[in-house]
Structure 1
């Protein structure tokens, strides 16, 4: 955030000692004794909320009530209903709220969107997003379902977000298989039904060799992004057919913060709207329901609800 030209005014954490240590490393001007004190500070214009997922919407709503723009860690909410609540408050206040995904801010993502829009792939036949990794720490919130843990929340949200942005089509139904470790899904594989009888697939895991990839296959060409989600300060290459498009190292997180600050100043529209966050949450809800119920879950267009069958 400092590199993007923003002033790091204050930070708050559950522990004052932890806040002080973080402020010293990252260059914040001061610490606040608690979250509410930070929100009440008159010299702060916007906040980044990096709490556990179950705290995202409650504290985002409090921040909006305090007159702050909100950049919130992904996934934005525990379910689509929470996103709807946040949207209502955002519309009432007129402040900016954005889910902190970095993948749309890497130049490779803009390139892929242009390729898809241009028709170079032909008619879409298949799309697949994979994000697998390994988390060993037993005390990590990712192993706590009440805090929004599990593979689908933590990694699958990237897959769903990217597929929705690139396909620009509504998901009609979802199906899923889930493997659990304790109370959380350690691995989820999903199938997303699209209009016209097509489908997209996704896979995410907290207990696998680290792999990430996004691919799209059309009637004319095949596209592959080997590092679609976390390519900070590293080069990237996108393959379209026999063509290889190379990208120099960039920091998409910095680019995201610059964009969000410009949107907060009213200079540009948000690249990731709450409407996108709502659509993504609806798909995640449907995948969870499909995994739990063992059958396909249909999304009711425009209603934010799902039903099985």
Structure 2
């Protein structure tokens, strides 16, 4: 079924895109005045299109990355057909009920594989709606794969490790001095950063959003940074890691109590089943 809606007609489905549906009744029940970008299966941010292309995109010849590595781009399995079930919204977020209804509909429609690039952070496996519905899918022979998050760890030289968020693509460890200076925690003083944060991981801790801090440390080529913020989803391709404010005292107290504090940031990590015992 190709469900029509804002900027999406049922005629837009084809032999590749054989179905498109959307689920937001519970978001609307929570806020009847909400204004969606596209009240339809249409992608709002491009993330779903991007991840779907990685999995199922057709072959495209003559592709390059700014004229580098020219060749043919394709998804993992370009020959498969695609049914889309939109359950998350840039305005309204992801409600458990809408996600479950969308997955149940996909199973009722007879899909063979479900790909979900969404997650409910902090939910234990036996309470996580993704885990619960995935188990139901497994029972009828449907393969489910989901996002594994983008994590990095900050390990202090006193042995304490903090799990944070990072999109830096490098595999290498960043191990160097850790610098905490109350004058520089805003990470918005370029001259002082250049003078004081050379060959060091600087601690940035000021304000609820970190996009300005990120721009500054990237522009002035700071070696690395620890961003203390609730804004985990801010994207940056820079050797840094974002940790939660609740973990800040561990880092700050260590840096202030040690003559030569050092730290290690490890990138591209995935953690499974935190807070619960893994299945054998």
TM-score by length of 1: 0.30
Instruction: State the structure with bigger RCO (CA 8 A, min sep 6), 1 or 2.
Output: 1
TM-score by length of 2: 0.32
Query: Which has the greater radius of gyration?
Result: 2
